[in-house]
Amino acid sequence: MSNSTKIGKVYLVGGGPGDPELLTMKAHRILGSADAVVYDRLISDAVLDIVPAGATRIFVGKKTSNHTMAQEEISALLVSMATSGRTVVRLKGGDPYVFGRGSEEAIELVRAKIPFEVIPGITAAAGAAASIGVPLTHRGMANGVRFVTGHCRSDIPLDMNWKSLADPNTTLVVYMGLANVGEITAQLMHAGLDCHTPVVAVSRATTSEQQTCRATLTTLVEKLNTEKLKSPVLIIIGEVAGLADIIGSEMISLGGSDDDEDIQSVASA
């Protein structure tokens, strides 16, 4: 590298759950001025449309047992591109630090002495829950929420504290759990969670392709097999999931109305 070459900067940007209007203003601004964008498979076309036409775009998406580029290679790519003086956006679905490996890339950037900044995004749990009318916490139903990933790398069997997760007073949100949904529901019931606990699975949340599947712990696997939701699927487990039938349906029918009578009808349902 020439001594006159100025080192660029890397932005680890949360792309949100899919709807481009759910990007932060800062994320939108940085995307619009990027020299290069390295993006995941969960990034919607509508978000990518914000990237300047002349910017370099590199897809590094991952699926189970099918990685376009190894994580170590992605980190090395970010370092290399920034070293050449470019403004690089590492664009991730949801939030970079929630099951996004953003911290792994941040550590490598620190080691390479590359300037970087993290721009948070709306994580899939918050986006999906809001889109279907499910509060992640609710007084008298859920006094906490837990995020877990439903798969392990290299097809290692799931090893979770199922007794801890089977808490009826906590909302459990499972990311990337579609492949292991049978084991997840069986383990939770075995650990003591009521088999009638409401569950909502959401596919491609906040986009025009969004699908939902409402079930219970016992019926979830069968319903998912029937309805064939497309990946990525997020699973919300807990009493709050039952509120999708009250808040979610009324939210859609009201069309966002702020009329007092309509709001009161929802509250008393």
Instruction: Give the residue from 66, 137, 146 showing the smallest Cα distance to 99.
Output: 146
- Res. 10: pLDDT tops 90: yes
Residue numbers annotated as active site: 40, 62, 176
Q: Are 96 and 14 contacting, i.e. CB atoms less than 8 angstroms apart?
A: yes
9-122 against 125-251: fold identical: no
pLDDT of residue 231: 86
C-beta of residue 138 within 8 angstroms of C-beta of residue 240: yes
- Angle at Cα 239 formed by Cα 233 and Cα 185, nearest 5°? 50
User: Is the pLDDT reported for residue 68 higher than 60?
Assistant: yes
Cα torsion 61, 64, 67, 73: sign: positive
* The token pair that represents 34 in the structure block: 């990027």
Q: For 183-191, which contacts have Cβ atoms below 8 Å and span 24 or more sequence positions?
A: 183/158, 184/150, 184/158, 184/235, 185/217, 185/218, 185/220, 185/221, 187/158, 187/160, 187/162, 188/162, 188/217, 188/237, 189/217, 189/218, 190/162, 191/162, 191/163, 191/165, 191/166
Report the distance separating Cα 139 and Cα 162, nearest Å: 24
Banded model confidence at residue 261, pLDDT cuts 50, 70, 90: very low
Instruction: Tell me which of 153 and 201 has the higher pLDDT.
Output: 201
Domain assignments of the chain as residue spans, ordered by start:
9-122, 125-251
Q: Percent of the chain beyond pLDDT 70?
A: 87
pLDDT, tens digit (0-9, with 9 covering 90-100), for 216-242 = 999 999 999 999 998 889 999 999 999
Per-residue pLDDT of 173-200, as tens digits, reads 999 999 999 999 999 999 999 999 999 9
CA distance readout (Å), 72 to 10, 68, 105, 107, 114: 16, 12, 9, 11, 16
- Fold exhibited by the domain 9-122: Cobalt-precorrin-4 Transmethylase; domain 1 (3.40.1010)
- Whole-structure pTM value: 0.86
Asked if the model's pLDDT at residue 257 lies above 60, the reply is: no
Percent of the chain with pLDDT over 90: 77
Checking if the pLDDT of 263 tops 80, the result is: no
Q: In angstroms, rounded to a whole number, what is the distance separating the alpha carbons of residues 101 and 261?
A: 46
Neighbours of 174 (CB within 10 A): 26
Whether the predicted pLDDT of 144 surpasses 80: yes
Residue with tokens 């609710």: 138
Cα separation, 128 vs 202, in Å, equals 7
Q: Out of 15-19, 49-53, 62-66, 102-106, pick the least confident.
A: 62-66
**Between 6 and 5, where is the model more confident?**
6
CATH number listed for the domain at residues 125-251: 3.30.950.10
Residues 118, 235: Cα–Cα separation, whole Å: 27
Return the C-alpha torsion angle 29, 33, 34, 40, nearest 10: 30
